[in-house]
Amino acid sequence: MNTKARNTQTTKERIIEAADDLFYQKGYEFTSFADIADEVKISRGNFYHHFKTKDDILGAVISHRMNKTKKMLKEWEDESKDAEGRIRCFIHILIANYAKIKLYGCPVGTLTTELAKLDHASQEDANQIFTLFRKWLSNQFKELGLKKEADSLAMHLLALSQGVATMATAFPSEAYVKQEVNHMNEWLRQQITNHSNN
Amino acid sequence: MNTKARNTQTTKERIIEAADDLFYQKGYEFTSFADIADEVKISRGNFYHHFKTKDDILGAVISHRMNKTKKMLKEWEDESKDAEGRIRCFIHILIANYAKIKLYGCPVGTLTTELAKLDHASQEDANQIFTLFRKWLSNQFKELGLKKEADSLAMHLLALSQGVATMATAFPSEAYVKQEVNHMNEWLRQQITNHSNN
DNA sequence: GTCTATAGATTGATAGAC
DNA sequence: GTCTATCAATCTATAGAC
């Protein structure tokens, strides 16, 4: 997770990364300043030198997640030259992150639903992370020639992966997740085959 | 929602129903005793005559939701004589409850993920509501002759509906939900057709 | 930039009068 | 069964010394 050495990071960066983890693991509302301060090992007072309100930290965390996501999507683009392979990279995160998903669900989906319930101002910012995936997936489908249905297919794949994450939290089973991942890969193959046959 | 006249309910029942609504709309952690007391219009002190701890209310709400769910599943059984029609009843709740889903997500999925993050003792009780749907759907698929795959199909359909609920919260669009519902109905038809052709 | 001390509000929970 | 009064703990946030 945090591979950088502690002393190469500013306190602000350390706060953001600690908050990022805690918001994911405990939820935004249930994470207090004391929790984050304990994790970063600074006093609560020092906190307000870097962030004026809890909402400011949330904003910074969302922005941090946006950057992490953009980076990851670029890595997937380098990893695979064809769009099918890139979409498979997306599908594969369910397996790669299974250990965390079974405990805390999907970081994007769970933050979105929590902020929706809190009727929080940052809700739309959090949705932007979803939009990042949505547009990226949509572009991949377009590259496969599925121009008209690209956005629908992207939304469908996002929904499926969200649902699998939720079910994996309720009924933790790696076998189940793998089964759904195989199902998604087959579905992807079928979309491409169906299209090239038309 | 609350069709019963207020004066035919005990205070305890009124507390449970108010807590049920608030836990759904605001989340468990973000709902305080004061919020529930305001809604029921009783004092906070009176609260502890009926429930000793906040966890006790959560337990009562989960139990209440279990009963509501059992009732709903029975209604679906009466509504449709064939299993396909009953499964369609399940799929249709995405449209029937769209107005609430776009604001608060699915009541079962969001409670499950919140309790998972809180590492709450009632997490397994909340999962029992999912189990209710899972077994019921599984039984319907068995009735369609899909005995071997029944549980996998049930889990897959649950995942899909969960995912659609999450996406509908992030990107509210009734057209999107209807599109996914049509997709699910077609998928269901295909499962039945594929099976009878074998 | 980091700390201690503290404010002011709210939390879950209790005691006791009516 | 319902109320008021109150507790101790915790919350976000501020002020000011170093």
Task: Answer yes or no: is A148 CB < 7 A from strand C.
Answer: no
State the best of B134, B149, B162 to mutate against chain A, taking most chain A CBs within 10 Å: B162
pLDDT, tens digit (0-9, with 9 covering 90-100), for A32-62: 999 999 999 999 999 899 999 999 999 999 9
* Domain limits, chain A: 1-52, 62-197
The pLDDT value given to residue B93: 98
Closest CA to A151 of A129, A130, A135, A131: A135
For domain B62-197, the CATH architecture is Orthogonal Bundle (1.10)
Task: Answer yes or no: is A33 CB < 7 A from strand C.
Answer: no
Q: CA-to-CA distance for B125 and B63, rounded, in angstroms? A: 8
Q: CA-to-CA distance for A153 and A136, rounded, in angstroms? A: 12
Q: CA-to-CA distance for A147 and B189, rounded, in angstroms? A: 27
Question: How far from A151 is each of A99, A108, A156, B181, CA to CA, in Å?
Answer: 30, 19, 8, 16
Token pair for B126 = 């909340």
**B160 contacts A159? CB cut-off 8 A:** yes
Token pair for A104 = 């805390």
CATH class of A1-52: mainly alpha
Instruction: Tell me the pLDDT of chain B averaged across its residues.
Output: 95
Instruction: Flag whether residue A167 sits within 8 Å of chain B, measured between CB atoms.
Output: yes
Closest CA to B165 of B87, B129, B128, B111: B111
The pLDDT value given to residue B1: 43
Beta-carbon contacts below 8 Å between A and B: 117
Query: Of the ranges A8-17, A70-79, B149-158, which one carries the lowest mean pLDDT score?
Result: A8-17
The pLDDT value given to residue B196: 86
pLDDT, tens digit (0-9, with 9 covering 90-100), for A137-156: 999 999 999 999 999 999 99
Q: Measured in whole angstroms, how far is the alpha carbon of residue A162 from the centre of its chain?
A: 10
Q: CA-to-CA distance for A147 and B130, rounded, in angstroms? A: 37
Task: Give residue A4's pLDDT band: very low, low, confident or very high (50, 70, 90).
Answer: very low
The pLDDT value given to residue B7: 59
Instruction: Flag whether residue B179 sits within 8 Å of chain A, measured between CB atoms.
Output: yes
What residue has token string 């499950």? B112
pTM (whole model) above 0.75: yes
Fold match, B1-52 / B62-197: no
Cβ contacts (< 8 Å) between B164 and chain A: which residues?
A: 159, 163
Q: Is the pLDDT of residue B118 over 80?
A: yes
User: Which residue's CA shows the smallest distance to C1' of D16?
Assistant: A45
The pLDDT value given to residue A8: 80
Instruction: Flag whether residue B37 sits within 8 Å of chain A, measured between CB atoms.
Output: no
Cβ-based neighbour number of residue B85 at 10 Å: 12
* B153 or B4, higher pLDDT: B153
What average pLDDT does range B151-176 have in this prediction? 98
What average pLDDT does range B10-25 have in this prediction? 96
pLDDT, tens digit (0-9, with 9 covering 90-100), for A158-198: 999 999 999 999 999 999 999 999 999 999 999 999 988 87
Share of chain B above pLDDT 70, in %: 96
Task: Give residue B124's pLDDT band: very low, low, confident or very high (50, 70, 90).
Answer: very high
Share of chain A above pLDDT 70, in %: 96
Instruction: Flag whether residue B103 sits within 8 Å of chain A, measured between CB atoms.
Output: yes
Cβ contacts (< 8 Å) between A116 and chain B: which residues?
A: 103-105, 169
**A170 contacts B112? CB cut-off 8 A:** yes
Task: Output the CA angle B145-B147-B150, nearest 5 degrees.
Answer: 110
**Closest nucleotide to A44 by C1' from CA:** C3
Share of chain B above pLDDT 90, in %: 93
Token pair for A117 = 């319930």
